């Protein structure tokens, strides 16, 4: 049901611009929509990050995968349980660039016996890595539409991406990787009963949306060609604040643009916000120095305390009369 | 504010600059003009129309050129008959560039703008316009 709903919404997001752009109003689909989407994205992203930045994180949260720094002769795990700033930067880099947490993914199986078996499972890690890096390269490749003249590094990336020179226009490896990885991640949610059980519309929808973006992009490149010079004129116009609406770009492009706009509008309000959130993971970005340094809770307000010493001082006479043992008396040598 | 607030805002500012980089590039450096290609054609007797209609050529000329190359190189068949029965030589230099003789404004304008580097010119020397308007080999 959640999958059906996501599919329905993505179909709607394709149908609306397809019908709309076919009916005309290209200034709306090509200029108003992307500008509005970009504004919502930038404002939403900033608001989310500032909201998170205001949350105090007074303690280190040691969810460590390695030996903590203790005595000098005990070897500590510098990256998995860092106690210094550089170690923490290393752990963050491993997490952000190599998806260290997903690398630890395990799979549990009930085997004959019955025996419970745990095993390493790298498929999710591999697919996630392929997905994110392919998406990054595809995004960077799109810089050729954003600025004129095209920067040399974009041409270089493009050349590497089409290195194998398969087909015409040359097949980009990242296009195939991205589609394959999206298919795997979606298939994993749909076919693995345990993952399907915990999957919601918020999990299916972004995958389907990104799949739709990739598919429309691939279709435009390899099968139903659009006027790319027109596309570039529109994109450069948008990004130099002098929007132009070229003639005859083709409805497929407006579908692609609308889907991308939907994605960036959706991003700040969804789990896709891990784009910024991963940098703020308290279990990753704080060194585990709980035992080396005292961390005082910053919002501790001064508490009025009444120590036993003061208590005994106050009720000295009454306690003495009642024959209670008194600390002060005990410490004094006996008079008689 | 928590002690890390400044660091996070610093990171956020870097992200916002990176993500709007094309905008700053275009606004500060300016953009080169993106001109439509000149469908420049030289009048050649007996050749009044292209081998396929302009709409098809605009989107799929690379497929046609690819097919031509393979047919010539692998099968040695030079003769090409259009849908409406006209005869042409399967040749980039002698057929295409006989009429479309301005490579800079016809081919290169789009290809450069879109960072496409076709390997036609790895072998073909290409045509350059001469003063009298005829095709000349570079």
How do residues A171-229 score in pLDDT, each as one tens digit? Answer: 999 999 999 999 999 999 999 999 999 999 999 999 999 999 999 999 999 988 888 99
Contacts with A168 from chain B: Cβ below 8 Å: 62-63, 66
Paired with B89 in beta bridges are B79
Paired with B127 in beta bridges are B137
Residue A31 lies in a domain: yes
- Helix A173-191, helix A201-218: angle, nearest 10: 150
Low-confidence residues of chain A, pLDDT below 50? none
- Token digits of residue A87: 């170690």
Task: Name the domain count of chain A.
Answer: 1
pTM: 0.87
Closest alpha carbon to A241 in B16, B20, B35? B20
Contacts with A159 from chain B: Cβ below 8 Å: 117
pLDDT at B134: 54
Judged by CB atoms closer than 8 Å, whether chains meet at A239 and B22 is answered as: yes
Report the residue of B31, B107, B108 to disrupt the A interface, i.e. the one with the largest count of A CBs within 10 Å: B31
Judged by CB atoms closer than 8 Å, whether chains meet at B12 and A276 is answered as: yes
Residue A96 lies in a domain: yes
Question: For residue range A145-167, what is the model confidence (pLDDT) as tens digits?
Answer: 999 889 999 999 999 999 998 88
Which residues, in sequence order, are CB contacts of A77 under 8 Å at separation 6+? A64, A65, A66, A67, A68
Contacts with B34 from chain A: Cβ below 8 Å: 148, 229, 232-233, 236
The total of other beta-carbon atoms located within 10 Å of residue A167's CB is 10
Which residues, in sequence order, are CB contacts of B68 under 8 Å at separation 6+? B80, B90, B91, B92
Residue A95 lies in a domain: yes
Residue A314 lies in a domain: no
Residue A123 lies in a domain: yes
Helices (H), A23-66: 26-27, 33-53
Contacts with B113 from chain A: Cβ below 8 Å: 148, 150, 229, 232
Residue from the list A42, A225, A280 with its beta carbon closest to the beta carbon of B8? A280
CA–CA distances in Å: residue B35 to residues A204, B67, B106: 42, 29, 11
Question: For residue range B12-67, what is the model confidence (pLDDT) as tens digits?
Answer: 999 999 999 999 999 999 888 888 888 867 788 778 888 998 888 888 899 999 99
B138 pLDDT above the threshold of 50: no
pLDDT at A247: 84
Domain that holds residue A188: 2-302
Bond preceding residue A169 cis, omega within 30 of 0 = yes
CATH of the domain at A224: 1.20.950.20
CA–CA distances in Å: residue A19 to residues A90, A120, A222, B21: 49, 48, 23, 32
Chain B residue with minimal CA distance to A145?
A: B114
Residue A110 lies in a domain: yes
pLDDT at A255: 95
Helices (H), chain A: 2-22, 26-27, 33-53, 85-98, 100-103, 123-141, 143-146, 152-161, 173-191, 193-197, 201-218, 228-239, 251-266, 274-277, 282-285, 308-314, 316-321, 327-331
Q: Do residues B16 and A50 make contact, with C-beta atoms less than 8 angstroms apart?
A: no
Residue A330 lies in a domain: no
Which ipTM was obtained for this model?
0.86
Chain B residues whose C-beta sits inside 8 Å of any chain A C-beta: 1-5, 8-9, 11-12, 15-16, 19-20, 22-23, 25-27, 30-34, 36-37, 58-60, 62-63, 66, 110, 112-115, 117
pLDDT at A252: 92
Residue A320 lies in a domain: no
């Amino acid at each position: 049901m959640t999958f059906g709903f996501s599919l329905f919404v993505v179909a709607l997001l394709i149908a609306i611009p397809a019908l709309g752009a076919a009916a005309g109003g290209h200034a709306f689909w090509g200029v108003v929509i992307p500008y509005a989407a970009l504004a919502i994205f930038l404002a939403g992203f900033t608001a989310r990050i500032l909201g998170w930045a205001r949350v105090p994180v007074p303690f280190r949260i040691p969810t460590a995968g390695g030996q903590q720094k203790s005595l000098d002769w005990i070897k500590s795990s510098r990256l998995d349980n860092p106690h210094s700033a550089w170690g923490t930067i290393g752990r963050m880099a491993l997490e952000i660039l190599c998806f260290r947490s997903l690398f630890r993914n395990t799979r549990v199986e009930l085997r004959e016996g019955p025996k419970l078996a745990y095993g390493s499972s790298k498929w999710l890690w591999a697919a996630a890595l392929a997905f994110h890096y392919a998406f990054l390269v595809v995004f960077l490749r799109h810089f050729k539409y954003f600025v004129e003249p095209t920067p040399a590094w974009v041409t270089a990336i493009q050349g590497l991406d089409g290195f194998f020179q398969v087909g015409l226009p040359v097949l980009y490896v990242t296009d195939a990787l991205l589609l394959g990885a999206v298919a795997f991640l979606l298939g994993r949610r749909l076919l693995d009963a345990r993952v399907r059980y915990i999957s919601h519309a918020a999990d299916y929808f972004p995958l389907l949306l990104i799949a739709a973006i990739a598919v429309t992009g691939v279709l435009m490149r390899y099968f139903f060609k659009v006027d790319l010079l027109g596309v570039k004129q529109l994109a450069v116009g948008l990004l130099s604040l002098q929007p132009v609406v070229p003639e005859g770009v083709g409805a497929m492009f407006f579908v692609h643009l609308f889907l991308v706009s939907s994605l960036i509008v959706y991003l700040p309000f969804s789990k896709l916000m891990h784009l910024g959130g991963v940098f703020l993971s308290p279990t990753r970005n704080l060194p585990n120095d709980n035992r080396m340094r005292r961390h005082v809770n910053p919002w501790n307000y001064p508490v009025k305390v009444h120590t036993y010493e003061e208590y005994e001082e106050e009720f000295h006479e009454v306690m003495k009369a009642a024959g209670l043992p008194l600390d002060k008396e005990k410490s004094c040598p006996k008079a008689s | 504010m928590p002690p890390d607030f400044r660091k996070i805002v610093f990171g956020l500012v870097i992200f916002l600059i990176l993500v709007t980089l094309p905008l700053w590039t275009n606004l500060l450096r300016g953009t080169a003009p993106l001109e439509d290609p000149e469908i420049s054609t030289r009048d050649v007797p007996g050749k009044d129309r292209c081998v396929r209609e302009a709409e098809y050529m605009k989107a799929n000329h690379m497929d046609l050129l690819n097919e031509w190359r393979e047919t010539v190189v692998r099968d040695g068949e030079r003769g090409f008959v259009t849908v409406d029965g006209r005869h042409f030589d399967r040749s980039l230099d002698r057929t295409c560039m006989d009429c479309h003789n301005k490579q800079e404004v016809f081919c290169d304008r789009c290809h450069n703008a879109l960072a496409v580097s076709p390997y036609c010119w790895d072998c073909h020397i290409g045509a350059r316009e001469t003063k009298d308007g005829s095709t000349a080999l570079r």
